Amino acid sequence: MKVWVKALSLLVSLSASVSAFDDLTLEGQFTQGGLIRGQLPGVSKAWFNDTPLPVSADGRFVFGVGRDAPANHELHLERDGKKVTKSLQFSPRQYDIQRVNGVAQKYVTPPSDVTERIRRDNQKVRIVRTTQSALPYIFTTPIMPAAGRISGVYGSQRIFNGEPRNPHYGLDVAAPTGTPVIAPLSGTVLLADDLYYSGLTLIIDHGFGVSSTFMHLDSFTVQEGAKVVQGDQIGTIGATGRVTGPHLDWRINWQQERLDPALLPGLAITLPKAK
């Protein structure tokens, strides 16, 4: 009898705990590369798998999964001394393969004298992407950073001059050199530098570990440390770094995880049809 009563008590407690989290909302596409925005009023702690998530005063948080992420994940939440684990499933995607010829050989296989520069560039970007600010802008509706033809999509693998390279992690917008680039979300400029592969590169912090990267620019119109408002011009499209023509490569990161800009909740965009 005591065992039965104890089991019943545990069941009631568990039911109460789960029902207490019915006001949890999750927004975004549950697929590889997706960014998810969540909110649970009064939540005190949150984890995505084993990663602690910063939580705003009104209970908002954000997380995401990369290009080749497995399907199953867990969201752990705590409020008023009660804890709950929610199982999440992200669907797989199929990616395009693109062949690009005419790339300068030094960018396909860089000469040994720039290896140290590339290492420094990568370290600089990695450090910037550890920023964890309380800026709330990732919870607003994004806009496209430039007008033009979508010439490259997230997850595609490029083959330069017949040699397979790493997958592409951005959304490419092809347009003439000098085309304005604007901030898709408000934020703070973390980096404005000339990098070996990505040319003139800007990184903007939108808050809660989420940042935008803008690559191959022809010019900057903002400096590191600047506060930018959504829609402000931040630079112009160019062809700097490893490119065959002028375009913007726009990337989204959640911490070090590379996400798909096209999957940002609320973004209005029409992608080209798969061939």
pLDDT at 15 over 50: no
Q: How far apart (Å, rounded) are the C-alpha atoms in residues 269 and 128?
A: 28
CB atoms within 10 A of CB 209: 24
pLDDT at 6 over 50: no
| H or E element at residue 235 | strand 233-237
- When pLDDT is averaged across residues 139-159 and rounded to a whole number, the result is 92
Candidates 126, 138, 128; CA nearest to 62 is: 138
Percent of the chain with pLDDT over 90: 75
Q: Is 193 exposed, middle or buried (0-12, 13-18, 19+ CB in 10 A)?
A: middle
Say yes or no: domain 97-263 is CATH 2.70.70.10. Answer: yes
- Select from 1.20.81, 3.40.50, 1.10.287, 2.60.40 the CATH code of 2-89: 2.60.40
Cα 257 to chain centroid distance, Å, stands at: 7
Domain ranges of the chain: 2-89, 97-263
Candidates 173, 156, 267, 153; CA nearest to 215 is: 173
- When pLDDT is averaged across residues 128-133 and rounded to a whole number, the result is 95
- When pLDDT is averaged across residues 54-79 and rounded to a whole number, the result is 97
pLDDT value for 103: 63
Among 2-6, 73-77, 170-174, which stretch is predicted with the lowest mean pLDDT? 2-6
pLDDT value for 218: 98
Q: Is 247 exposed, middle or buried (0-12, 13-18, 19+ CB in 10 A)?
A: buried
pLDDT value for 150: 95
DSSP 155-190: T-EEEETTEEEEEP-SEEEE--TT-EEE-SS-EEEE
- When pLDDT is averaged across residues 193-204 and rounded to a whole number, the result is 97
- Give how far Cα 147 sits from Cα of 21, 194, 201, 248, Å: 41, 23, 18, 10
